[in-house]
Structure 1
Amino acid sequence: MRRFGPLALLVLPIILAGCGLHPLYGGGGAGGVVGTLRQVEVATIEGKAGWLVGNALRDRLAADGPARYRLDVRLDDSITGLGVRRDDSVSRERRTLRARYQLVQLADGQVLLDASAGSDAGIDAVQSEYATIAAENTALERLSGIIADKIVSRIALYAQRTPATTSATVPGPAPTPAP
């Protein structure tokens, strides 16, 4: 088996190249996907969860320069009690954060992407109300980052799969009209 290890390392890149896999962020900072992500401005999102998600999105998108797209996000944040103790107090909670978002082209107001993302976290509700509130806040912070990652990944996939979006962000000669 040890004899085939080096051979496998030589053959693996050839096999992967033939399967059609392409890196999402190919070209690094000069690539089309990164160029598109840098042109997305995040609209204000209401509430504490909105503030957390908005900041996480701005950190991940790293917009620099004029915006061509706006990201509109609506959140639904809920906490549900699951377990009940003998004294009728809740012993376990689930915090759920759902986002409905739209990527809007600023030039004409066209909605380019309309999708949703969500995640949830379990929380132990202990006897200390302070500890439970702290756990709920920590869960919200963690969920905000997860939601932001999902949204940015979906926008990046859209940018990669849509030639009109990526070609509009990569500098180059203007296309010539067909005769």
Structure 2
Amino acid sequence: MTKLLSNISLLAAASILLASCGLQPLYSGGTNGVVANQLGDVEIEPIKGKAGWLMRNALSDQLSTFEGSEVKYRLIVELDDKIAGFGVRSNDRITRERRTLRARYQLVRLSDSVVVLDATAGSDAGIDVVSSEYATVAAEETALENLSTRVADQIVKRLSLFAREQASGSGN
């Protein structure tokens, strides 16, 4: 019983500390919140290539949960997708690869064509190169799908922070 009371008092103390540090939920208000409304106002421009198709779908999946009143921003994304071998055997055969996906993205306000956010995001994944070429290609494709999701998540989080800054009046 005393352990339960000490845990409850510890939880209460932690709650007070968190409340006093100024942390605020990013998506407060749910789908009716300011951040959600601004994210719903973003249109994603088509992105070149297979990696671009995957990235655009990942971004659309995340942004489609937010409903805006009208399109006010355009998101322009340029991707850099690279595979580099780095594990080499004595017979010069590659045993490991690293797939890297980097995105440079700009958020353009449509009313005056001003770039209000210019940033980058990226991630990488290691791939084992095995004797089956099919298995290696499949692993490379799976890595690209996973990287697209991760990078899209980074972009949406940064857009969310931008939207919160705009709502609080401290943004551009």
Q: TM-score, normalised by structure 2?
A: 0.91
Alignment check: 8 A CA contact 2:34 2:167 kept: no
| Paired position in structure 1 for 2:42 | 40
CA distance in 1, matches of 2:7, 2:39: 39
Equivalent residue in structure 2 for 1:51, among 48, 53, 67? 53
Instruction: Give the secondary structure class of the aligned counterpart of 1:81.
Output: strand
CA distance in 2, matches of 1:60, 1:153: 10
Residue identity matched to 1:118: G
Alignment check: 8 A CA contact 2:88 2:94 kept: yes
* Structure 2 residue ranges without an equivalent (≥5): none
Query: Are 1:9 and 2:11 counterparts?
Result: yes
Equivalent residue in structure 1 for 2:160, among 151, 156, 163? 156
Instruction: Give the secondary structure class of the aligned counterpart of 2:113.
Output: coil
| Paired position in structure 1 for 2:111 | 107
Matches within 5 A, 1:121-136: 121-136=125-140
Give the count of matched residue pairs. Answer: 166
Instruction: Give the secondary structure class of the aligned counterpart of 2:112.
Output: coil
Sequence identity percentage: 55
Give how far 1:16 is off. Answer: 1.3
| Paired position in structure 1 for 2:21 | 19
After the TM superposition, which parts of structure 1 deviate over 4 Å for at least 4 consecutive aligned residues?
none
Alignment check: 8 A CA contact 2:35 2:167 kept: no
Give how far 1:165 is off. Answer: 7.6
Alignment check: 8 A CA contact 2:84 2:97 kept: yes
* Structure 1 residue ranges without an equivalent (≥5): 167-179
Alignment check: 8 A CA contact 1:36 1:165 kept: no
